Structure formats: C-alpha cells, structure tokens
Amino acid sequence: MTPSLSASRTAGLLAALMLLAPGCKRDTPPEAKGGPEAAAAKPVSGGKIALMLPESKTARYESHDRPHFERKVKELCPTCEILYSNADQDAAKQQNQAEAALTNGARVLVLDPVDSASAAAIVARARQSKVAVLSYERLILNADVDYYISFDNEQVGKLQAQALADKLKADGKGDGQIVMIHGSPTDNNARLYKSGSHAVIDPSGLKVAAEYDTPDWSPDKAQQQMEQALTRLGKDKIAGVYAANDGTAGGAIAAMKAAGLKPLPPVTGQDAELAAIQRILAGDQYMTVYKALKLEGEIAAEVAVALMRDGRPPEGRVNGQVNNGMKDVPSILLPSQVVTKDNVKSTVVADGFWTVAQICEGDYKAACAAAGL
C-alpha cells in the first residue's frame, strides 16, 4: 500500500487549482471534517457495492484504483461486499456487468464508463432499482448521476500542452511541428484533455502537423499512428509529441525508437505510470501528469459507503458541479501536477506513489543515480 498525499501538499494543490473545465463550477475546497471519520461516523452493516472499471490497458486501474478503493471500503465497512468487474473496453460487456450487479443486489454503483454516452442506460436501469450511481473518473453524460469524482480534466490537458510548449520554446523550437495523439473518442475525459491541450497549443506558435484519436487508448494503435506521422512528415521534422496519457506516450516512443530517431523529441504523458517515470528518468519521455489516484479511490470508497448508509456523501467532500448535459452533477474535483525528471523525487517518490526500489530496478539504476534517487 502507498501512503496518501500529505495534507499540506494536497491542500496546496487544491488551493492552486483554479482553472475549471467547461460546465464546471467550483465551491469551497473539501474540508477536513469530510474525511474518513465522517464516513465512519455511523457504522455500516453489510451491503453490496459494485466497482465497475472500464479497461486494463491503462495500468492505473488494476495497480491503484481498485486496490485503494477495496481497501478503504473494507476499512469503513468490514462486512460490505464489493462486486468488482472490468469491462475490457467493451461497452456492451459493461452493460451486462451492470445488470448482473443490480440483479445481485448492489446498492451503489461506482461506475467508470467505457462509453460516456451509452452508460446513461446503466444509470437509468439503476434508477429503476433505486440504486445510487457515483460516476468515477469519467463523467457519464445525459444521465441522472448522483455524484461525480475526478480531476479537472481540461486543466490536465492544459498542463500537458503548456509543459510541451515551454520545453520547445526553451529549446528554440517554439514554432516547430508537433504530433498530437489523443485518447479514446468514446471517453468524455479524452474530449476534455483534447480541448485543454488545444487551448494552449493553438495560440502558442507550434504547428500541429498530424493529429489522431486513439481507439481504446491502445498503445499499439498509438504506435501505428506515430509510424504514420513519421512516414508522412519525416523523422527529423517533428519537434515534439503531445500524447494524452502514458500508454499512448509509450506507443509513440516505441515507434520513434524503431525509426532510429535520436535524440527523441519531448513527449508528454499522464497518470505517472511506473514505466513512464522510468522513461522520464532515462530521457525518453519528457513529462507526465501525476494525479492522486490513491486519494481518488479512497474518497470514492467513502462516498459509496456513505451513499449506502444515508444517501449522502461525507460532509465537505463535494467541492464543485459539472454539467453532464442533463444536470449539474455534485462533484469532487481533485488536484493534479506536472512531473518531470527534476521533481520525480519530490512528487511520486515523496508521496509514496512509487518507491525508489520499484523505479530504480535493472537498467534504470544509473538514470536514478543521476537524478539523485
């Protein structure tokens, strides 16, 4: 288990996070009284909570979201049963999993949708059974969702794009050509990352020479897209790569290495996956966005248990609203930050997201030593 963000670090990040995605409204930050003590104020006896995750190609879901959520639920409600499912990026499969969970007596659905639009049918079915729905990580669109927990996702895209633009400007390539590799077109978060990134890139002076959406967030498809860009543009004509997450970044980097591109241009990422942190230290990837996934999983567990208890989240947790096309959904919006080689030690290592032993194994020992790890 990894320790959570320190209280001072989290408070500081929340205070600094001022830009909100379109349709988002921020109220006051979450208060301390809305923590685990609030969720545990009234003992919960029994009950079933369904945790429904969308895919496993993105490493975070099985390595962080699921274990942190399950551990916290068991801490708050030892006799509760967790009905876990992963849809493997198949919206129809997720529909069937939701039906099975409801038939099996789930009282709360914690749902990260494969398809943000079609998941509205799952919410409608849950409503028929008077089951609460917490939209987790990705917003479910045009649906009567009870609550939403995620990050300021348009701001994540802005962070990525600004880091890339600043790096290229510092390298004297502020008017260079870039390739943009976005996420899955069925993921509402991918739309927000894309919007945020363009808000920075479009007026920056950089030229978008090739741009792709990546079905299923597949690293293999991202690699193929980067190969197409290299063929079309020429390997020496690409100043940088905007990749929406660490998986697509890995695919783009693999394509450039196979093409013999050296040195690699700056590449962005997101999720602070272990492989991405190692690539950053080795100089293959420029940056990633670190999101407090442990905090997200734990708060989602608190909210799920509280919804099962009395239909309301812990006091002070809700700190904003996000419009999903049907309603302004009460929301819990969490902080994120840029990680480069210079601050790996003070972010993901200091917060216990990854340990030095995990990062610095094998071929990465020398890179870690050079970075002071």
Same domain, residue pair 194 and 223 = yes
Does residue 133 fall inside a structural domain?
yes
pLDDT at 178: 98
pLDDT band, residue 31 (cuts 50/70/90): very low
Asked if residue 131 lies in contact with residue 315, where contact means CB atoms within 8 angstroms, the answer is no
What is the number of structural domains in the chain? 2
Within 10 angstroms of residue 11's Cβ, the number of other Cβ atoms is 15
Burial class (CB in 10 A: 0-12, 13-18, 19+), 316: middle
Largest separation between any pair of C-alpha atoms in the chain: 63
For residues 202 and 266, state if they share a domain.
yes
> Do 169 and 258 have their domain in common?
yes
Residues 200 and 319 in one domain: no
HEC-encoded secondary structure of 214-276? CHHHCHHHHHHHHHHHHHHHCHHHCCEEEECCHHHHHHHHHHHHHCCCCCCCCECCCCCCHHH
Q: Residue 11: what residue type? A: A
Residues 120 and 16 in one domain: yes
Q: Decide: pTM greater than 0.85.
A: no
Look at residue 178 and tell me if it is in a domain: yes
| pLDDT value, residue 313 | 76
Average pLDDT over residues 228-245: 96
142 & 255 share domain: no
Closest CA to 246 of 55, 5, 57, 3: 57
> Is 309 inside a domain boundary?
yes
User: How wide is the angle at C-alpha 66 spanned by C-alphas 329 and 191, nearest 5°?
Assistant: 45
Of the residues 270, 305, 320, which one is the last residue of a structural domain?
270
Q: Would residue 85 count as lying in a domain?
A: yes
DSSP secondary structure code for residue 296 in this structure = H
Positions of E strands within 62-202: 81-86, 106-111, 132-136, 147-151, 177-181
pLDDT in tens, 186-231: 999 999 999 999 999 999 999 999 999 999 999 999 999 999 999 9
Token digits of residue 201: 């890139």
Q: Is residue 2 part of a domain?
A: no
- CATH at 193: 3.40.50.2300
The whole-angstrom separation of Cα 327 and Cα 107 is: 22
- pLDDT per residue over 325-341, tens digit each? 999 999 999 989 999 99
On whether both 21 and 142 belong to a single domain, the answer is yes
d(CA 45, CA 141): 32
The verdict on residue 373 lying in a domain is no
Residues 127 and 76 in one domain: yes
- 171 and 88 share one domain: no
pLDDT higher than threshold 70 for residue 59: yes
Q: What is the pLDDT of residues 337-363, one digit of tens each?
A: 999 999 999 999 998 899 999 999 999
- 């945020």: which residue's tokens? 196
Percent composition of the chain: helix, strand, coil (DSSP 3-state, to 5): 45, 20, 35
* CA dist 208 → 43, 181, 202, 273 (Å): 55, 11, 8, 26
Please tell me whether residue 315 adopts helix, strand or coil conformation: coil
On whether both 168 and 57 belong to a single domain, the answer is: no
Q: Are 51 and 87 part of one and the same domain?
A: yes
How far apart, in whole angstroms, are the C-alpha atoms of residue 243 and residue 98? Answer: 31
Summarize the confidence of residues 98-104 as an average pLDDT: 97
- Whether the per-residue pLDDT at 90 is higher than 60: the answer is yes
Q: What are phi and psi of 108, to 5 degrees?
A: -140, 135
- Residue 349 within any structural domain of the chain: no
Question: Is 141 contained in some domain?
Answer: yes
Residues 106 and 189 in one domain: no
Domain that holds residue 91: 7-151+292-334
